[in-house]
Amino acid sequence: MTRHDTVTAARRVVVKVGSSSLTTAEGGIDPARVSALVDTLASARGRGAEVVLVSSGAIAAGLSPLGLKRRPRDLATQQAAASVGQGLLVHRYTEELARHGITTGQVLLTLDDVTRRSHHQNAHRTFARLLEMGVLPIVNENDTVATNEIRFGDNDRLAALVAHLVHADLLLLLSDVDGLYTAKPTEPGSRLLADVHGEDDLAGVRIGTAGAAGVGTGGMQTKIEAARIATGAGVPVVLAAADQAAAALAGEEVGTMFHPTGRRRPTRLLWLAHATEGKGRLFLDDGAVRAVGERRASLLPAGITRVTGSFSAGDPVDLVAGDGAPVARGLVNYDSAELPALIGRSTRDLAKELGSSYEREVIHRDDLVVLHGRSVGT
Q: Mean pLDDT in each 10-residue stretch from start to end of the chain (378 residues)? A: 92 93 77 95 95 91 87 86 91 96 92 64 89 95 59 73 91 92 86 90 72 50 89 93 95 94 75 81 94 91 93 92 92 92 86 81 90 50
Number of alpha carbons in the 13 Å side-chain half-sphere of residue 362: 35
What class, spelled out in words, does domain 278-370 have in CATH?
A: mainly beta
Query: Binding site annotation covers 286?
Result: no
Query: Binding site annotation covers 175?
Result: yes
In this prediction, residue 27 carries a pLDDT of 63
Query: Binding site annotation covers 218?
Result: yes
Query: Binding site annotation covers 143?
Result: yes
Query: Binding site annotation covers 176?
Result: yes
Query: Binding site annotation covers 279?
Result: no
Query: Binding site annotation covers 222?
Result: yes
| Sign of the dihedral defined by the CA atoms of residues 248, 253, 259, 264, in that order | positive
In this prediction, residue 303 carries a pLDDT of 92
In this prediction, residue 150 carries a pLDDT of 40
Query: Binding site annotation covers 344?
Result: no
Query: Binding site annotation covers 74?
Result: no
As a whole number of angstroms, the distance between CA 249 and CA 8 comes to: 7
In this prediction, residue 214 carries a pLDDT of 40
Cβ neighbours around 67 below 10 Å, total:
6
Contact residues for 73 (Cβ-Cβ < 8 A; gap 6+): none
As a whole number of angstroms, the distance between CA 127 and CA 52 comes to: 9
| Sign of the dihedral defined by the CA atoms of residues 15, 21, 24, 25, in that order | positive
Query: Binding site annotation covers 40?
Result: no
As a whole number of angstroms, the distance between CA 316 and CA 278 comes to: 5
What class, spelled out in words, does domain 3-271 have in CATH?
A: alpha beta
In this prediction, residue 210 carries a pLDDT of 42
Domain ranges in the chain with CATH number 3.40.1160.10 = 3-271
Domain ranges in the chain with CATH number 2.30.130.10 = 278-370
Contact (Cβ atoms closer than 8 angstroms) between residue 219 and residue 210? yes
Report residue 150: phi and psi, to 5°: -70, -15
Q: Is 106 helix (H, G, I), strand (E, B) or coil?
A: strand
Burial 2-12 (b: 16+ CB within 10 A, else e): ebeebbeebeb
